[in-house]
Amino acid sequence: MSIRTRMTVVLAGAGALALLASCAPAPVAPGEVSGTLTVLDWAGYDAPDFWIDFQTTYPNATVNFEIGASDADIYSKMAAGDQADIFHPYTGWLQFYVDEGLVEEIDTSALTNWDQVPDSFKAIGQINGRQYFIPWDWGFTSVLYRTDMVPTGVDSWAALFDPAYAGHISMWDDGPGAVTISSYVHGYDETAITAEQLEAIKQEWIAQRDLNLFYWAGEPELIDAMAGGDVWVAYAWQGAYATLLGQGIPVAYANPSEGRNSWVGVYGIRKGTTNLDLAQRFLDAKLAPATGNNVVNLFYYGHANQAVMSGITDATLVDAFSVNDPGVLERTNFTPNLTADQRDAWTGMWAEVKAAP
């Protein structure tokens, strides 16, 4: 172990040196920047569309992708010593990276696109008062429903528990997501769920299984089931809404009285990376407009660059992001960060729901 500790010290030292080097005013022409970056990202983000600005600005740099299947997967891979330079967690799953010393603080002064990011988003990437992450993609979670099957409309998250839609409801396969919804419905404080409340939540979701057709894992699975008419009411992100709308399926995206949920995807740099300078350049390019426009137009996700969002003209997207409804963000609940205890308790609760008789 002592050897490994010493190695860590040496690596940390190297990291500090690299940090110093990156602060030094040594302007390099972008075309001369070379090197290889490894990004641990979610499936789909490896497509060059989503880092097109980096590709065009730094043609001599190489980017490799490792694929993570979920927030938990990405976190445990990083905790297991993954050597990726950059990784992509979402709100809720940020705190432990800092607690376990897995993430490097970001030098925002080096980011040319940083001014385009609204302060409310910047704050999401701050842990313990320091900017460890840069916000990148964001979106809503709400109830998506078929207007032909649910003519009365949906105005509450409680629709996911409504026996009227038995056999036609689909929930996302996720424990923390389930706790969030129950908290909205019952007015629990999401950051301070008690053991009794968690037990009640568990029983509630066990009972909900009789109404729920299946738990969706990937968006296409949900989209196909809604288009085919098997699912009428679902927990969904706005991407599913925009896709179905684009295909002419009669769907609507609820504005629940409890408020929508909103999530933000952020990028972090691994502590101890030897590629700090290149990693910062990558993150800066991630915030640039061409990349942002691709995120909006191809995936129907929001982007942290304000100029990109205010440039949206497509009617479906305007609707999906409620661009014309300035009040919607005030009625939106951002996902708070989980502690390690909450993570273990909530995911364990969900496993018990799925295993229940």
Partner 1 sequence: MLDRRPTFWALTLPPLVWLGAFFLTPLAMMAAFSTRPDLRGRLMDPWVPSLHQYEVLLSVPSYGRLLAISAGLAFVVALCATVLAYPVAYYLAFRKGRRTGTLLILLLLPFWTSYLLRVTAWKFILGSSGVLNSLLLYLGWIREPIEALLYNRQAVAITLVYVWIPFAALPILAALQRLDPSLLEAAADLGAPPVRRFLRIVLPLSLPGVLGTFFMVFIPTVGEYVTPLLVGGSRGSLYGNIIQDFFTKAANWPFGSALSMVMLVTTLALLAVAVRVVDLRRFIE
Partner 2 sequence: MTTAPPFRIRIPALGIYYVGLIVLLYLPIAILFLFAVNAGTVLAFPLKGFTFDWFLRLSESTAVLKSALNSLGVAAGSSLVATLLGTMVALVLTRSPFRGKAILFGLSVLPLIVPFVVLGVALLLLFRAFGIGLSLWTVAIGHSIVALPYALLIVTARLAGFDPRLEEAAMDLGASYPTTIRRIVLPNIVPAMASAWLTAFTVSFDEFALALFLAGTSPTFPVYLFSQLRFANRLPVMIALAVLLTLATLALLLLAERIRRVE
Residue ranges that bind partner 1, judged by CB under 8 A: 1, 4, 69-73, 75-76, 79-81, 100, 167, 171, 173-175, 208-209, 212-215, 217, 224, 228-230, 340, 343-344, 347-348, 350-352, 354-357
Q: Which residue reads 């860590």 in tokens?
A: 8
Task: Give Cα separations from 279 to 61, 64, 90, 286, 318 (angstroms).
Answer: 11, 12, 19, 10, 32
- Please give the single-letter amino acid code of residue 8: T
Contacts of 129 (CB under 8 A, 6+ apart): none
Rounded Cα distance between 174 and 350, Å, is: 7
Contact present, 300 and 239 (Cβ < 8 Å): yes
3-state secondary structure (DSSP) of residue 180 = helix
Per partner kind, with CB cut-offs from 5 to 8 A, the member of partner 1, partner 2, none near residue 3 is none
d(Cα 87, Cα 79) in Å, to the nearest integer?
12
Cβ atoms 259, 184 nearer than 8 A:
yes
Q: Which does 343 bind (CB under 5 to 8 A by kind): partner 2, partner 1, none?
A: partner 1
Minimum distance, C-beta of residue 185 to partner 2, in the bound complex (Å): 28
Interface mask toward partner 2 for 66-105; x: CB under 8 A: xx-x---x------xx-x----------------------
Report the site for partner 2 in 279-298 (rule: CB under 8 A).
298
What tokens appear for 227 in the block? 């288009």
Task: Report the b/e string of 324-345 with b at 16+ CB within 10 A.
Answer: eeeebeeebebbbbbeeebbeb
What is the spatial distance between Cα 239 and Cα 237, in angstroms, rounded to a whole number?
Answer: 5
Identity of the residue, 26 or 80, whose beta carbon is nearer to partner 1 in the bound complex: 80
Q: Which does 167 bind (CB under 5 to 8 A by kind): partner 2, partner 1, none?
A: partner 1
Shortest spacing between CB 42 and partner 2, in angstroms: 7
User: Among partner 1, partner 2, none, what does residue 130 contact (CB within 5–8 Å per kind)?
Assistant: none
Nearest distance in Å: CB 85, partner 1: 19
Q: Site map for partner 2, 207-246, x if CB under 8 A?
A: -----------xxx--xx--xx----------xx--xx-x
Give 246 or 348: the residue with its C-beta nearer to partner 1: 348
The binding track of 29-68 with respect to partner 2, each residue x by CB under 8 A or -, is ---------x---xxx-x-----------------xxxx-
Instruction: Work out what residue 247 binds among partner 1, partner 2, none; the CB cut-off runs from 5 to 8 Å by kind.
Output: partner 2
Shortest distance (Å) from residue 236 CB to partner 1: 16
Distance CA 291, CA 53 (A): 6
Q: Which is nearer to partner 1, 21 or 69 (CB)?
A: 69
> 274 with 83: CB under 8 angstroms?
no
User: What's the burial of 194, exposed, middle or buried (CB within 10 Å: 0-12/13-18/19+)?
Assistant: exposed
Q: Which stretches of the chain bind partner 2, using CB under 8 A? A: 38, 42-44, 46, 64-67, 69, 73, 80-81, 83, 218-220, 223-224, 227-228, 239-240, 243-244, 246-247, 249, 298-299
